[in-house]
Amino acid sequence: MERVELLAPAGDLERLKIAFEYGADAVYLGGENFGMRSAAKNFSIDDIKEGADFAHKKGKKIFVTVNIIPHNEDFEGFKEYLIELEKVGVDALIAADPGVIQVIKETLPNMEIHLSTQANTTNYHSANFWYNQGVKRVVVARELSFEEIKEIREKTDKNMDIEAFMHGAMCISYSGRCLISNYMTGRDANRGSCAQSCRWKYSLVEEKRPGEYFPVYEDEKGTFFFNSKDLCMIEYIPELINSGITSLKIEGRMKTAYYVATVVRAYRMAIDEYYKNPDQWKFNPVWLDELKKGSHRHFTTGFYNDKPGTEEQNYASASYVRNYDFVGIVLDAPDKDGYVTVEQRNKMVVGDEIEIIGPYTDTLLATIEEMYDEEKNPITEAPHPRQLVRMKLPKQVGPNFMLRKEIEETN
């Protein structure tokens, strides 16, 4: 059975490597130009080469976004950039604009092209059109149901890949084709500079009464009426695979390494469990609990089962739900006495009860009983960003395992 691809986001090299270590089959990323997330750290050409080399040694792939909706001046230096991407070993380019696709075909005739969700593909006629233009993979619009995706699969060439988002932030505008950010702030969401205006709180102002703000209510629940919940399809792995999707995509190039590890790990477990015995697959609530231990908004299934209703919006707040702090990442294997080096990411103190997650492992529980600084002096806390500490952890722990602790509720 040909397995579905698990595709993860990467905002920098650390997150790329974490995604692969935790089970991603491929990673998508943005270079320093021509991508839809200019606020992310993004990758230099040297970074992309290092990432591609790392991926290929593991038999995995990297895809680079060139999916802005460009104006004339945006094409300056584009061909030269494409040539550099091919040289460093990129496996495919993700594009949305017909002009960009044409330039890719002219400049890199052997490069695989993926059609971005920004192209808003919602039907099999469009998918067939793009496939006939040389597009190998179509990233379908987020606004499709399982049944619509199945029909696209049935009525397109079997050599065409279908990619679909299964987890992450949802945009209020059609597959991300948003104008509100540009209108409100002058930051063009379609050229990589979204200000996320849909997450803001809005009030009504009457023209002749400036300064008087009247709340805009949706069923008296709040004023964040553009603010969508996050997509989460962990309970629907069989339906996703059986709809004919080739690649299941996680949103989040702006997210942290801990977020990437948590989400990839949960979906890796769910997908692997499916392939053990597809007919007997059963949803494990632990997978959803794991996703909730990363920073997230409340979850929705988006358009997959039916068109969303009022419950798919979060009217009360634009804030994330965060129940756990990522406190450290393990840098090396245990020594003969069981001690590892941990790079601090949030404050840790002796006595903290922690959870430890790692690639392809169950969650481990532990208590920090002792810590030592780099000079081997005992310490009771690690308050400094990226401080290196030595501590004893369970023997299963190794490089890239992550430590987290539950956030204590405060009144």
Do 345 and 384 fall into the same domain?
A: yes
If asked whether residues 292 and 338 sit together in one domain, one would say no
330 lies in which domain range?
Answer: 324-406
Are 364 and 266 members of one domain? no
- Among 309, 336, 364, give the residue marking a domain's end: 309
Q: Is the pLDDT of residue 411 over 50?
A: no
Higher per-residue confidence, 295 vs 23: 23
228 pLDDT above the threshold of 90:
no
Is 273 inside any structural domain? Answer: yes
Predicted confidence at residue 245, as pLDDT, reads 98
203 lies in some domain:
no
Residues 77 and 13 in one domain: yes
Residue 263's CATH number: 3.20.20.70
- Residue-level pLDDT at 40: 47
The 10s digit of each residue's pLDDT in 108-144 is: 999 999 999 989 999 999 999 999 999 999 999 998 9
Does residue 181 belong to any structural domain of this protein? no
pLDDT (mean) for 330-359 = 95
- 195-209 tens-digit pLDDT: 666 666 666 677 777
| Residue 202 counted as domain residue | no
Write down the pTM of the prediction: 0.85
Higher pLDDT, residue 150 or 178: 150
Residue 78, in any domain of the structure = yes
Q: Are residues 280 and 394 in the same domain?
A: no
Nearest to 36 by CA among 134, 117, 139: 117
pLDDT given at position 193: 65
168 lies in the same domain as 242 = yes
Whether residues 170 and 106 fall in one domain: yes
Higher-confidence residue of 9 and 212: namely 9
What average pLDDT does this structure show over 218-230? 61
Q: Tell whether the model's pLDDT for residue 79 goes beyond 70.
A: yes
Residues 145, 280: one domain?
A: yes
1-5, 24-28, 335-339 — most confident range = 24-28
Residue 200 inside a domain? The answer is: no
Q: Domains in the chain: how many in total?
A: 2
Q: Are residues 361 and 275 in the same domain?
A: no
User: Is there a contact between 281 and 274 (Cβ–Cβ < 8 Å)?
Assistant: yes
Residues 369 and 265 in one domain: no
In a shared domain, residues 117 and 263: yes
Asked if the structure places residue 316 within a domain, the reply is: no
- Give the end of a domain, one of 309, 341, 376: 309
Supply the CATH number for residue 382's domain: 2.40.30.10
